[in-house]
Structure 1
C-alpha cells in the first residue's frame, strides 16, 4: 500500500525539484573611479548544469572593452541520470497501481506478476541509491563552481588590488537540496517495499508451506515412538509369560493362534491408545485328581 500511495508522489518531487531548477548569480565590479565602475554582471545557469557552456561578460578596467568568461564543470550526466530514474520510477509506480487495483487476478496468475514486480523493485532500489549518491556529489561540485569567490577569481579586473568586486546576489540552493533529500527518501521507500513484494512471490509461500521442526519437537517425537514400540511389543510377551506360568493345560495350537491374533491387532491399531481385551479358550485345571472347568480367560493388552 505504501508503494501505491507514496512512490509516485516522492518520485515526482525528486525529478521536478531537480529538473526545473534555475539559478541566478550577480556580481559587481568597480574599476576604482574609472568610467567602467559599479558594473553588474548577471550569471544564469539551470538544469542540466553544463556550466562550461554558461558564459558572461566582464569589463577590463585597463582598456575600454570586455572579456567573455565561462564557468567550470559539466554535471549534466549525474543530473540527467537522477531525473531519468525519477521519471521511470513514477511511470512504473503508476502502472503498478493500476495493476494492483484493477488486474489483481491476472497479477497473481502463474506467479509471474509478483516475480516481475520483485525484480523491478530491486532494480529501482539500486538505481535510486546510485543516482542519489551521484547527484549529491555533483550538487556539492555545482555549489563550489558557482561560489561567488570562485567566480570573482575568473575575472581579470578582480585580481587587481586597485579594483573592488563583490557578489550582490547568490543562488538559492534549497530546491536542489530538497531534490537530494527526496532521492534518498525514494531509496528507503523502494528498498522497504522489497519485503512486501517478496511476500507475494512463490519463494516466500514455499518456505511457509513446509515449516521446519524444532529440535525439541524432534526429541519429543522420538520419545513417543520409543515408548510406543516398547509398550506395543514388550508387554504382550510379559502377559503371555505370566499366562504360561499360571496355565496348566493350554493347548499348543490355541496358544499359537492367540499369539498370531494379538500380533496382527497390535500392528494394525497404531494410533489407538485404549486397552484391548481378547477372549481366549476355556481352560481346564487339574487339582488333586479332580478336573475343574472354568470359563474363557480375558487378556488385556495395554498400548
Structure 2
C-alpha cells in the first residue's frame, strides 16, 4: 500500500496505548454478553406429581417470550404446561450493546492500522485528527447509552427469570398445583459485561482529551490564551 511506513512509536504514547486498551475492552464487552447461556428451574407439584423439575433454557439475545418450559409430564397437571414460556423480549437492548461493541472493535483495528502504518500521514493531516476526535466523542456517548440501556434490560431479565417468575405463570394458578422457584444460572458474566461497558465509556471519554491535544483546535486555543 502506498505510503505505508510501519512505526509503532504512537503505541507508546497515550493515544495509541489507550486505543489498544479500547480494543481489548470492547472484546470483553461483547464476549461476556453474547456468550451467555442460562437455565431457570422450578419445582412443580400437582395431582400425581411431587416436586417435578421444570426448566426453561435461555441465552443471548434474550427473547424470553420464545423460551418454553418443558412440561412436567403430559399425562399430569391436566396438560396445562404446554407452550408455557418466560415473559419479555430484551433482544433489542442486548443486540444493540453487542453489535456496537463489535463495531467499536473493528474501528479500533482500523485506527491502529492507521497509527502504525500511516503515522506520518495521520499526524500531519488535521482533517484526520479532527475526524478521529469526532468519532471518539460519538463512541464515548454511545457507550454511555448502550451500557445503561443494557443494564436496564439485564435488571428486567433477572426479574423475568428469577423468583418473581412464578406468580406470572398460568399453570401455577391452577387449583391443586403449586410452584416453587428453585434456581437460575448465575448472571455474573452479564454483570461483568455492564462493568466493561462502563470502563469502555471511561476509556473513550478520557481519550478525547489526548486526541484533542493533537488537533489544531488545541493549538489555536493556546495561541488565543
Give the TM-score range, shorter chain. Answer: 0.7 to 0.9
Larger radius of gyration: 1
Q: Is the 8 A contact 2:40 2:184 kept in 1?
A: yes
Residue 191 of structure 2 aligns to a residue whose secondary structure is helix
- Structure number with greater CO (CA < 8 Å, separation at least 6) is 2
Residue 38 of structure 1 aligns to a residue whose secondary structure is strand
Q: If the length of structure 1 is used for normalisation, what is the TM-score? A: 0.64
2:21 is the counterpart of 1:6? yes
Q: Is the 8 A contact 1:21 1:176 kept in 2?
A: yes
Q: Which one is further off, 182-191 or 144-153?
A: 144-153
Give the corresponding residue for 2:66. 53
- 1:181 paired residue among 183, 186, 195: 195
Q: Is the 8 A contact 2:90 2:153 kept in 1?
A: yes
- 1:37 paired residue among 25, 39, 50: 50
Where does the alignment leave 5 or more consecutive residues of structure 2 unmatched?
Answer: 1-13
By how many angstroms is 1:38 displaced? 2.9
Change (3 A) 1:198 1:65: closer
- 1:20 paired residue among 23, 35, 57: 35
Equivalences, count: 208
Change (3 A) 1:35 1:81: same
Q: Is the 8 A contact 2:34 2:60 kept in 1?
A: yes
Q: Is the 8 A contact 1:78 1:134 kept in 2?
A: yes
Q: Is the 8 A contact 1:22 1:44 kept in 2?
A: yes
Give the corresponding residue for 2:183. 169
Distance (Å, rounded) in 2 between the aligned partners of 1:85 and 1:98: 20
Q: Is the 8 A contact 2:45 2:178 kept in 1?
A: yes
Distance (Å, rounded) in 1 between the aligned partners of 2:29 and 2:79: 47
Give the corresponding residue for 2:6. none
Distance (Å, rounded) in 2 between the aligned partners of 1:74 and 1:39: 27
Q: Is the 8 A contact 1:27 1:148 kept in 2?
A: no
Deviations 1:85-141 (A, max 9, x none): 111111111221222222111112331221110011011011101101100111111
Query: How large is the RMSD of aligned CA atoms in angstroms?
Result: 2.0
Where does the alignment leave 5 or more consecutive residues of structure 1 unmatched?
Answer: 213-303
5 Å-filtered alignment, 1:176-255, equals 176-208=190-222, 210-212=223-225
Deviations 1:219-270 (A, max 9, x none): xxxxxxxxxxxxxxxxxxxxxxxxxxxxxxxxxxxxxxxxxxxxxxxxxxxx
- 2:166 paired residue among 151, 166, 169: 151
Q: If the length of structure 2 is used for normalisation, what is the TM-score? A: 0.84
